[in-house]
């Protein structure tokens, strides 16, 4: 039985985008022994004001941390000029629609690149629908699901898990088998080591 790993994240968190690569590499190295589920966590849920990229907080954080880290990892990333930054609830509802069509990982990756490389407003339903079409989802059905709130309740339940039940307060956070939480951007080798330890413990 595969080890269950939930990754709590937000699409507007650059460290979550940077965490995607090492996680994928770790999962590939363990070849089917780890099942990953990306779980939504809103850093600034409505009506909390979102951040503005021209502000000192993001400018200094990116200059001192995000850009140097991304350069070391070989990942192209930019501080998007979308101002203020978008709310991500609608994008998370879209993620459920993508999951139901076996496109969850492709959708998540496209959301990251849409925001952190193409500087698109991923809070906009038109942008989300275009991105969904790019990864092979039916654009019309996807848009209707967003407009009708088809996945709104499930999305809220997922958000509640991280926010209220697990009391997560930062992203990315890796939750292994619903019990062990590992916060932050974790290198591939450290993930492989932790996953192997958990697999060994489960086999005892």
DSSP 62: I
DSSP 179: T
The conformational region for residue 116 under phi > 0 = left, psi -120 to 50 = alpha, else beta, is: alpha
Identify the pLDDT of residue 142: 98
User: How confident is residue 94, by pLDDT bands cut at 50, 70 and 90?
Assistant: very high
Domain 3-203 architecture: 3-Layer(aba) Sandwich (3.40)
Lowest mean pLDDT among 44-53, 100-109, 177-186: 177-186
Stated pTM of the model: 0.97
CA–CA gap between residue 171 and residue 2 (Å, rounded): 23
CA–CA gap between residue 30 and residue 188 (Å, rounded): 11
Identify the pLDDT of residue 137: 98
How big is the chain, counted in residues?
Answer: 204
pLDDT in tens, 18-77: 999 999 999 999 999 999 999 999 999 999 999 999 999 999 999 999 999 999 999 999
Tokens found for residue 8: 């709590």
Does position 178 have pLDDT exceeding 90, yes or no? no
pLDDT in tens, 118-129: 999 999 999 999
Using alpha carbons, select from 197, 166, 198 the residue that is nearest to residue 39. Answer: 166
CA–CA gap between residue 173 and residue 183 (Å, rounded): 4
């Amino acid at each position: 039985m595969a080890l269950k790993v939930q990754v709590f994240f937000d699409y507007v968190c650059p460290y979550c985008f940077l965490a995607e690569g090492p996680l994928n590499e770790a999962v590939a190295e363990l070849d089917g022994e780890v099942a990953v589920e990306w779980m939504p966590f809103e850093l600034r849920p409505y009506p909390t004001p979102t951040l503005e990229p021209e502000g000192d907080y993001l400018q200094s954080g990116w200059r001192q941390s995000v850009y140097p880290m991304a350069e070391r990892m070989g990942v192209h990333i930019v501080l998007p000029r979308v101002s203020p930054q978008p709310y991500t609830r609608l994008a998370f509802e879209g993620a459920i629609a993508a999951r139901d069509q076996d496109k969850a990982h492709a959708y998540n990756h496209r959301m990251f690149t849409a925001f952190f490389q193409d500087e698109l407003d991923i809070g906009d339903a038109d942008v989300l629908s275009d991105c969904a079409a790019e990864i092979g989802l039916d654009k019309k059905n996807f848009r209707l699901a967003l407009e009708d709130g088809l996945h709104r309740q499930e999305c809220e339940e997922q958000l509640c898990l991280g926010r209220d039940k697990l009391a997560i307060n930062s992203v990315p956070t890796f939750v292994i088998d619903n019990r062990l939480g590992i916060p932050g951007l974790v290198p591939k080798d450290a993930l492989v080591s932790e996953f192997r330890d958990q697999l060994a413990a489960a086999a005892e």
